[in-house]
């Protein structure tokens, strides 16, 4: 009413902003008539309509983004999502602008609560493709509306808050529902915090938290029907899929997220940790894309696609260009795949055997794969590029995780083998004395010099490379989880000299990029090493001038000339740091593949590339499609005169084929409860592990042409019902003799 001087304090649309406040915005009432020097509202040059726009006192949500005007004003001014221009007193909103409808899609949560960087969000990657899609965000409007009845209407019901809010209309909040703690505040989750739980239940009394959060992001909780406001549900086992491991008749509940691993309940927090998997939640498998330009098209192959792989736990990708095929090594077998014709052949390993690494060897007699498994080192004949599984040799050496060729010049395949922990061997493989068949193996000899060094340092092997040195004997560089070792040796013996540390956890950051501000020892980890030098047209190196080194802190180029005498000056990282995605793990390098003019990199965050080569790096190559996930193997492939990049994406501890669900006893629908799988070291996100026999305790034999097969799969172990007095149901899938 233009004639009524009192209706400036009314709030007919119940959005928390009085009529005068809506007129004054983007100034607040305390500065609107004392410090304002221009018109209110948003100027025409900032609006899509081209007209000056004002907040509408008749509509609770002027911009139509799902957030009432008063709520957005509160978040911008009181909530820290905006700032006031000291010269004009006008407010600028980074998020929660009541005249900007983008908040309907934005997920504004602070990246670090004590900092001022916004926009990290608390949505989660539902389909595990490595990207938070628009429909996977937990948007600002969804956070505000969390918990509202389905027919909520602000103009009728009021703001979704309890009590009164600072600087908003005193009657704006609804008056039927209280916060569990009885204080004033918003009733939804907090769009400013990734983890905004503000209270917990102490026995029967709700208690406010001094530090908000329960360890689970709000978006994950909201998606799975948990309460992002209540910290107590983190330690609950909502789907009752815990397991009575000590068989005392009680499932011990979890009392806190800090001690969750001690209880027998499979709490919601523990299920969330399986999803996030230390940052490795992306679905594993084989990915490929065209190398020469940026494209949204990325090929994905795993055990569920057509063509398929044996399994998605890929660690090795070898090219077979003459046959238009790739040989893909994964945990349970080998796949020969033509990704362009859509054809694959799968070759599974024997039950109980897991493949960790493989290399190809082409002597004059045969074509071989040399395999490192949990049993030892094996050979396998390739016929027309395809594995002949009946030629797989046996081994009982123990787990072999790394196989590296020693540059001895002997004509045989001299290898250094790295196993679990501090185990290392040298072995020679030679062509078969008969001229055909599997190669001959010498006895593996333990390398005591390296083992003793690692035992003293309590370190484990991660990588090794044998570097030819012009004018002198070759150099062995050994990577560990606690530093780098140099050893001047031709054949893995100390006939020339003893191995010694280049750096350890104590001084790693004097040599390489830091990896973690709070964990200095992480910088010392060596993930991968590859020879560096000018790349010839066939992909080989014209000469070796250095070593590419990948650590959790970044990519480095080791200058061999400096490395011999001045190792601290030998590590070059100039223009090699990925600043844009360092928080996501782009500098945690796990694979390196140099081609002419580019260094292709696989990281915890996926693939990216550097422009340049061993003679110098110009910076990040922008025109390259990113393939997300933990990339541990890279290979380039020519098809129809076009170059493609294929990446082996490895999982973390869990496959994430099916998303873990805190409201489902059996998330992967394999017939085994999640808690049982978790307790016994299986994967509650992998539906295929029900058919596997992890401890290989099935019975398979052949007598006089009559076969007997009684496999004892993981599902059989779970389903076993005792047949004796005092016996227990279920057997242990990790133990071949449970009783």
Which pLDDT tens digit goes with each residue over 598-637? 999 999 999 999 999 999 999 999 888 899 999 999 999 9
The answer on pLDDT for 437 being more than 70 is yes
Q: How many angstroms separate the CA atoms of 539 and 51, rounded? A: 60
Q: Is 662 helix (H, G, I), strand (E, B) or coil?
A: coil
| Whole-angstrom Cα Rg for the chain | 31
Q: How many angstroms separate the CA atoms of 31 and 665, rounded? A: 57
Q: Cα angle vertex 525, ends 604, 598, to 5°?
A: 50
For the segment 168-186, what is each residue's pLDDT rounded down to a tens digit? 999 999 999 999 999 999 9
For the segment 238-272, what is each residue's pLDDT rounded down to a tens digit? 999 999 888 888 898 888 888 877 889 999 999 99
Q: How many angstroms separate the CA atoms of 442 and 403, rounded? A: 15
Q: Is 512 helix (H, G, I), strand (E, B) or coil?
A: coil
* E strands in 393-488: 402-405, 413-418, 424-430, 440-441, 445-446, 461-467, 475-480, 483-488
Q: How many angstroms separate the CA atoms of 516 and 371, rounded? A: 34
- Considering only CA atoms, which of 387, 15, 390 is closest in space to residue 173? 15
Q: Long-range contacts of range 382-386, CB-CB < 8 Å, 24 or more positions apart?
A: 384/323, 385/320, 385/323, 385/325, 385/327, 385/336, 386/336, 386/345, 386/347
Domain-embedded: residue 71:
yes
For 207, the token pair is 């208690």
Contact 706, 728 (CB under 8 A): no
Q: How many angstroms separate the CA atoms of 375 and 359, rounded? A: 16
Contact 608, 586 (CB under 8 A): yes
Domain-embedded: residue 333:
no
Category of 379 on φ-ψ map: left (φ > 0), alpha (ψ -120 to 50) or beta = beta
For 17, the token pair is 């902003």
The answer on pLDDT for 294 being more than 70 is no
What total of structural domains would you count in the chain? 1
* Beta-ladder partners of 572: 557
Helices (H), 627-713: 674-679
Q: Is 635 helix (H, G, I), strand (E, B) or coil?
A: strand
Cβ neighbours for 217, distance < 8 A, ≥ 6 positions apart: 122, 124, 138, 194, 195
Q: How many angstroms separate the CA atoms of 485 and 588, rounded? A: 20
The answer on pLDDT for 705 being more than 90 is no
Task: Tell me what the mean pLDDT of segment 721-734 comes to.
Answer: 90
Binned at pLDDT 50, 70 and 90, residue 426 comes out as: very high
Provide the percentage of residues in the chain whose pLDDT is more than 90.
83
Domain-embedded: residue 211:
no
Contact 638, 321 (CB under 8 A): yes
The residue to which tokens 């033509």 are assigned: 338
The residue to which tokens 């039927």 are assigned: 176
Domain-embedded: residue 100:
yes
Domain-embedded: residue 494:
no
Domain-embedded: residue 66:
yes
Q: Is 279 helix (H, G, I), strand (E, B) or coil?
A: helix
Q: How many angstroms separate the CA atoms of 318 and 229, rounded? A: 49
Contact 330, 294 (CB under 8 A): no
For the segment 130-148, what is each residue's pLDDT rounded down to a tens digit? 999 999 999 999 999 999 9
Q: How many angstroms separate the CA atoms of 307 and 267, rounded? A: 37
The residue to which tokens 């669900």 are assigned: 661
Domain-embedded: residue 520:
no
Range of the domain at 141: 1-191
Task: Tell me what the mean pLDDT of segment 458-470 comes to.
Answer: 95
Torsion, Cα of 544, 545, 550, 553 (10° steps): 180
Q: Is 532 helix (H, G, I), strand (E, B) or coil?
A: strand
Binned at pLDDT 50, 70 and 90, residue 295 comes out as: low
Burial class (CB in 10 A: 0-12, 13-18, 19+), 447: buried
Other C-beta atoms within 10 Å of 185: how many?
A: 16
Domain-embedded: residue 182:
yes
């Amino acid at each position: 009413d233009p004639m009524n001087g009192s209706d400036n304090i009314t709030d007919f649309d119940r959005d928390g902003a009085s009529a005068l406040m809506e007129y004054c915005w983007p100034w607040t009432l305390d500065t609107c008539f004392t410090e304002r020097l221009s018109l209110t509202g948003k100027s025409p040059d900032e609006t899509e309509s081209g007209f000056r726009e004002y907040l509408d006192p008749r509509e609770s949500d002027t911009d139509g983004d799902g957030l009432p005007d008063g709520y957005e004003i509160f978040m911008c001014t009181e909530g820290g999502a905006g700032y006031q221009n000291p010269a004009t007193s006008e407010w600028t909103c980074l998020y929660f602008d009541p005249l900007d409808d983008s908040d309907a899609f934005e997920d504004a949560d602070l990246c670090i609560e004590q900092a001022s960087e916004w926009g990290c969000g608390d949505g989660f990657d539902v389909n595990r493709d490595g990207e938070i899609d628009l429909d996977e965000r937990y948007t600002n409007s969804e956070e505000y509306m969390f918990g509202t009845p389905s027919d909520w209407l602000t103009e009728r019901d009021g703001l979704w808050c309890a009590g009164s809010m600072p600087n908003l209309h005193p009657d704006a909040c609804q008056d039927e529902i209280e916060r569990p703690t009885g204080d004033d505040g918003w009733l939804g989750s907090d769009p400013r915090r990734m983890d905004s739980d503000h209270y917990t239940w102490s026995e029967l009394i709700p208690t406010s938290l001094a530090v908000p959060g329960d360890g689970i992001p709000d978006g994950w909780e909201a998606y799975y029907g948990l309460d992002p406001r209540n910290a107590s549900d983190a330690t609950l086992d909502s789907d009752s899929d815990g397991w009575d491991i000590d068989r005392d008749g009680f499932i011990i509940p979890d009392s806190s997220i800090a001690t969750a691993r001690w209880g027998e309940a499979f709490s919601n927090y523990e299920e969330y940790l399986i999803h996030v998997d230390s940052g490795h939640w992306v679905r594993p498998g084989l990915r490929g894309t065209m190398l020469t330009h940026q494209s949204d098209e990325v090929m994905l192959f795993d055990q569920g696609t057509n063509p398929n792989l044996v399994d998605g736990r890929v660690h090795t990708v070898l090219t077979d260009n003459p046959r238009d095929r790739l040989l893909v090594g994964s945990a349970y077998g080998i796949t020969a795949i033509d990704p362009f014709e859509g054809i694959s052949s799968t070759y599974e390993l024997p039950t109980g055997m897991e493949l960790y690494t493989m290399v190809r060897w082409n002597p004059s007699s045969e074509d071989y794969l040399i395999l490192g498994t949990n049993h030892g080192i094996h050979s396998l004949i390739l016929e027309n590029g395809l594995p002949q599984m009946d030629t797989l040799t046996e081994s009982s050496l123990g787990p072999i995780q790394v196989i590296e060729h020693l540059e001895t010049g002997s004509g045989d395949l001299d290898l250094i083998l790295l196993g679990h922990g501090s185990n290392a061997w040298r072995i020679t493989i030679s062509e078969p004395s008969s001229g055909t068949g599997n190669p001959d193996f010498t006895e593996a000899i333990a390398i005591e010099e390296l083992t003793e060094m690692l035992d003293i340092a309590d370190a484990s092997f991660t990588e090794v490379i044998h570097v030819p040195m012009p004018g002198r004997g070759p150099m062995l560089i050994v990577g560990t989880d606690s530093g780098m070792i140099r050893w001047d040796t031709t054949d893995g013996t100390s006939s020339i000299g003893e191995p010694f540390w280049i750096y350890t956890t104590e001084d790693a950051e004097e040599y390489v990029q830091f990896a973690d501000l709070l964990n200095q020892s992480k910088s010392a980890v060596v993930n991968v090493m590859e020879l560096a030098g000018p790349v010839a047209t066939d992909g080989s190196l014209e000469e070796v001038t250095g070593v590419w080194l990948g650590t959790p802190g970044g990519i480095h180029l080791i200058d061999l000339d400096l490395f011999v005498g001045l190792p601290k000056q030998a590590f070059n990282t100039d223009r090699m740091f990925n600043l844009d995605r360092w928080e996501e793990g782009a500098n945690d390098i796990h694979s390196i593949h140099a081609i002419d003019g580019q260094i292709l990199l696989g990281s915890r965050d996926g693939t990216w590339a550097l422009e340049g080569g061993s003679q110098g790096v110009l910076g990040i190559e922008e025109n390259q499609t990113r393939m997300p996930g933990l990339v541990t193997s890279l290979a380039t492939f020519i098809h129809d005169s076009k170059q493609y990049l294929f990446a082996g994406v490895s999982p973390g501890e869990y496959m994430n084929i099916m998303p873990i669900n805190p409201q489902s006893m059996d998330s992967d629908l394999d017939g085994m409860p999640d808690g049982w799988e978790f307790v016994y070291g299986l994967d509650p996100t992998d539906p295929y592990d029900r058919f596997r026999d992890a401890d290989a305790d099935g019975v398979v034999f052949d007598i006089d042409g009559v076969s007997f097969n009684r496999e004892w799969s993981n599902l059989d172990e779970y389903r076993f019902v005792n047949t004796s007095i005092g016996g227990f149901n279920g057997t242990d899938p990790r133990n071949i003799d449970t009783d």
